[in-house]
């Protein structure tokens, strides 16, 4: 039995040796998969953090690629990096920035709080690809790819850069599209008079178009807030190196590197006014997440309202009808549910949870460095992606196909006792209250009660109880 075990162990060891190579770092040798472009420090991170199986977001890795590409360009222009190495690094980093080599970035989100493992992962991949381009091992991940940089200023810069790109290119267009869909409905539904509701109880009349116009306005404010977040994230930590002092980097390195990043991305990143703040604090990330949290709250309200307005079809409000996009029940035939609204609500709930994580993470800017940056990056980018995706789905599959149930709206508003509010100036609040109570008790219209009690002349009654007029500012009848 011992002989069989020994032989099996020997065979396994030979198989491992055949599929791995030996890499070295300052701690010694490490066995790395033969086909891996990364090196020892990445492998140590893979071995040390088998926590979630969740890798860093692709856009974050791409942002690191942009930084390495721009850094090589800047270092060459400053005379710190020779031409062949600089060109090779720029080419390799450009591939990372383009989203290539995705399988070469296996580091878990839950890693070292500075994100050093992810920074070194990119450094090692870029160095290996650049060295292969040159046909030598002349490109070093620390000495050349990471020149004038530290994980402590690169990672926070990558967070700001990746989030800015996602906000500009994904979320703002998605919010704008949803806002346009809601605004279109506000125009189409402008002639539909319906009951307003406060505390979920009948209130004075409004137009369905006004209701949807309110939703569109929420989205407009959300877009403004997101754009403000992009401005907030434009100040980056690059140049502070290890602790914010800027040790080991050329004085002009940040300016030249950021100019190259801006040229490549169309952003307007600037060097932080105070590097100690930029590396120790993550207030800009919290502010950006706060904007996303606010947008999520707004979208939750919109999605919930649409569910209420569409509730029914016989026992609810049923003032609008949503597109039937899938069967709603595995047991109840013919049932259709507001599924896209519910999907939006779940996305919003996750964004709110991510904001809590980011808030806690930002509290751990201990002395000169925040030590929860990877999870903050993951939560921020996930929130942006969730909101963008949910907005696109809601606009395309729900909002554009909503129809108003005009007869239903008219029937409900006619029986609304709060129409008596329009009588205040004509017969006084107390008398109007008695009219409202009687109308509600008998389930007849306010108009009928006024006519039966002969409280107003017919011509005056028509003027005061002009339902559409009640949806505009002014005193009814005057």
Give the residue numbers marked as catalytic. 199, 329
In this structure, what DSSP letter does residue 198 have? E
* Nearest-10 crossing angle of helices 373-397, 172-188: 30
From CA 26, how far away is CA 29, in angstroms rounded?
A: 9
Beta-bridge mates of residue 207 = 193
Sort residue 472 into left (φ over 0), alpha (ψ -120 to 50) or beta. beta
From CA 115, how far away is CA 123, in angstroms rounded?
A: 12
* Nearest-10 crossing angle of helices 83-97, 58-77: 160
What secondary structure does DSSP assign to 96-132, as a single string?
HHTT--GGG---BSSS-TT-HHHHHHHHHHHHHHHHH
Nearest to 197 by CA among 184, 187, 211, 209: 211
Structure tokens at 53: 């199986």
| Mode of pairing for the β-strands spanning 235-236 and 270-271 | parallel
CB 170 within 8 A of CB 385: yes
From CA 418, how far away is CA 73, in angstroms rounded?
A: 69
From CA 273, how far away is CA 247, in angstroms rounded?
A: 16
Nearest to 61 by CA among 103, 91, 105: 105
Q: What are phi and psi of 201, to 5 degrees?
A: -110, 155
């Amino acid at each position: 039995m011992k002989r069989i075990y020994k032989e099996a162990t020997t065979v396994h060891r030979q198989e491992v040796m055949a599929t791995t190579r030996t890499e070295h770092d300052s701690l010694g040798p490490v066995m790395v998969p033969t086909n891996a472009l990364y090196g020892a420090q990445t492998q140590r991170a893979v071995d040390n953090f088998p926590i979630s199986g969740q890798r860093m977001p692709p856009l974050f890795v791409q942002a690191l690629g942009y930084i390495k590409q721009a850094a090589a360009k800047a270092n060459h222009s400053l005379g710190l990096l020779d031409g062949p190495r600089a060109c090779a690094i720029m080419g390799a980093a450009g591939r990372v920035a383009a989203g290539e080599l995705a399988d070469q970035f296996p580091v878990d989100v839950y890693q070292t709080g500075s994100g050093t493992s992810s920074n070194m992962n990119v450094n090692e991949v870029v160095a290996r690809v650049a060295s292969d381009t040159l046909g030598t091992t002349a490109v070093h991940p620390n000495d050349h790819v990471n020149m004038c940089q530290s994980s402590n200023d690169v990672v926070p810069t990558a967070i700001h850069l990746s989030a800015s790109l996602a906000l500009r290119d994904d979320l703002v267009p998605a919010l704008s599209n949803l806002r346009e869909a809601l605004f279109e409905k506000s125009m189409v539904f402008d002639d539909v008079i319906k009951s307003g509701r406060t505390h979920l109880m009948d209130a004075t009349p409004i137009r369905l178009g006004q209701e949807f116009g309110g939703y569109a306005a929420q989205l407009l404010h959300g877009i403004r807030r997101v754009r403000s977040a992009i401005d907030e994230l434009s100040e980056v930590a690059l140049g502070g190196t290890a602790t914010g002092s800027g040790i080991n980097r050329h004085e002009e390195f940040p300016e030249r590197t950021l100019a190259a990043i801006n040229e490549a991305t169309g952003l307007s990143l600037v060097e932080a006014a105070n590097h100690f703040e930029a590396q120790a604090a993550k207030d800009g990330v919290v502010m950006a997440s706060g904007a996303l949290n606010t947008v999520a709250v707004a979208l939750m309200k919109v999605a919930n309202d649409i569910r209420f307005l569409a509730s029914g079809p016989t026992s609810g409000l049923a003032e609008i009808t949503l597109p039937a996009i899938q069967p709603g029940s595995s047991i109840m035939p013919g049932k259709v549910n507001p599924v896209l609204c519910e999907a939006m609500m779940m996305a919003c709930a996750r964004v709110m949870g991510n904001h809590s994580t980011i808030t806690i993470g930002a509290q751990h800017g201990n002395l000169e460095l925040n030590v929860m940056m990877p999870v903050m990056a993951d939560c921020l980018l996930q929130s942006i992606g969730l909101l963008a995706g949910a907005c696109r789905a809601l606009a395309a599959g729900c909002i554009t196909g909503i129809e108003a149930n005009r007869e239903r709206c008219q029937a409900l508003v006619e029986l609304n006792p709060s129409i008596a509010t329009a009588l205040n100036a004509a017969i006084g609040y107390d008398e109007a209250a008695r009219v409202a109570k009687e109308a509600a008790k008998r389930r007849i219209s306010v108009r009928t009660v006024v006519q039966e009690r002969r409280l107003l002349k017919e011509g005056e009654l028509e003027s005061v109880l002009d339902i559409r007029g009640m949806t505009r500012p002014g005193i009814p009848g005057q």
